[in-house]
Amino acid sequence: MEKSLVIIYTQNIRGDLALLPRLYTFIQQLQKEHEDERVLVDLGASCSDDIWHCRVTEGRSALLVLDAMGYQVVNVE
Protein backbone atom coordinates (compact mmCIF):
# COMPACT_ATOMS: atom_id res chain seq x y z
CA MET A 1 0.00 0.00 0.00
CA GLU A 2 1.37 3.37 -1.02
CA LYS A 3 1.56 6.13 1.57
CA SER A 4 2.16 9.77 0.90
CA LEU A 5 4.13 12.34 2.84
CA VAL A 6 2.60 15.74 3.51
CA ILE A 7 5.06 18.56 4.20
CA ILE A 8 3.58 21.58 5.95
CA TYR A 9 6.03 24.46 6.03
CA THR A 10 6.33 28.05 7.21
CA GLN A 11 8.93 30.77 6.73
CA ASN A 12 9.56 34.38 7.76
CA ILE A 13 7.62 34.40 11.02
CA ARG A 14 10.15 37.03 12.15
CA GLY A 15 9.29 36.82 15.84
CA ASP A 16 5.62 37.76 15.42
CA LEU A 17 4.30 35.80 18.39
CA ALA A 18 0.80 37.27 17.93
CA LEU A 19 0.61 35.39 14.61
CA LEU A 20 1.36 32.00 16.12
CA PRO A 21 -2.01 31.13 17.75
CA ARG A 22 -3.82 31.59 14.42
CA LEU A 23 -1.05 29.77 12.60
CA TYR A 24 -1.25 26.88 15.05
CA THR A 25 -5.02 26.59 14.52
CA PHE A 26 -4.51 26.59 10.75
CA ILE A 27 -1.79 23.93 10.97
CA GLN A 28 -4.03 21.73 13.12
CA GLN A 29 -6.76 21.97 10.48
CA LEU A 30 -4.30 20.99 7.75
CA GLN A 31 -3.09 18.03 9.77
CA LYS A 32 -6.64 16.78 10.30
CA GLU A 33 -7.26 16.93 6.54
CA HIS A 34 -4.17 14.82 5.78
CA GLU A 35 -4.16 11.47 7.53
CA ASP A 36 -0.91 10.39 5.88
CA GLU A 37 2.54 10.88 7.34
CA ARG A 38 3.10 14.59 8.05
CA VAL A 39 6.19 16.69 8.61
CA LEU A 40 6.01 20.22 10.01
CA VAL A 41 8.97 22.36 8.89
CA ASP A 42 10.05 25.98 9.36
CA LEU A 43 12.36 27.13 6.55
CA GLY A 44 13.94 30.00 8.47
CA ALA A 45 13.71 33.61 9.61
CA SER A 46 11.61 32.62 12.60
CA CYS A 47 13.13 35.47 14.64
CA SER A 48 14.28 38.99 13.86
CA ASP A 49 16.82 41.16 15.68
CA ASP A 50 14.28 44.00 15.55
CA ILE A 51 12.01 42.13 17.98
CA TRP A 52 12.98 42.44 21.64
CA HIS A 53 12.41 38.81 22.68
CA CYS A 54 14.44 37.57 19.72
CA ARG A 55 17.26 39.95 20.57
CA VAL A 56 17.29 39.04 24.29
CA THR A 57 17.18 35.28 23.70
CA GLU A 58 19.52 35.37 20.68
CA GLY A 59 16.75 34.02 18.46
CA ARG A 60 15.67 31.14 20.67
CA SER A 61 12.28 32.53 21.80
CA ALA A 62 10.47 31.65 18.58
CA LEU A 63 12.17 28.24 18.50
CA LEU A 64 10.67 27.38 21.88
CA VAL A 65 7.20 28.19 20.60
CA LEU A 66 7.72 26.29 17.35
CA ASP A 67 8.83 23.26 19.35
CA ALA A 68 5.67 23.50 21.47
CA MET A 69 3.62 23.69 18.26
CA GLY A 70 5.05 20.35 17.12
CA TYR A 71 7.56 21.37 14.46
CA GLN A 72 9.90 18.50 13.59
CA VAL A 73 12.42 20.54 11.56
CA VAL A 74 13.47 24.18 12.00
CA ASN A 75 16.16 26.05 10.08
CA VAL A 76 18.05 28.00 12.75
CA GLU A 77 20.49 29.81 10.45
Residues 6+ apart with CB under 8 A from 61: 15, 17, 47, 53, 54
Instruction: Give me the long-range contacts of 63-66 (CB less than 8 A, separation at least 24).
Output: 65/17, 65/20, 66/13, 66/42
Q: For the whole model, what pTM was predicted? A: 0.85
The reported pLDDT for the residue numbered 36 is: 78
3-state secondary structure at position 34: coil
The reported pLDDT for the residue numbered 41 is: 97
Please give the average pLDDT of every successive group of 10 residues along the chain, which has 77 residues: 88 93 94 86 95 94 93 92
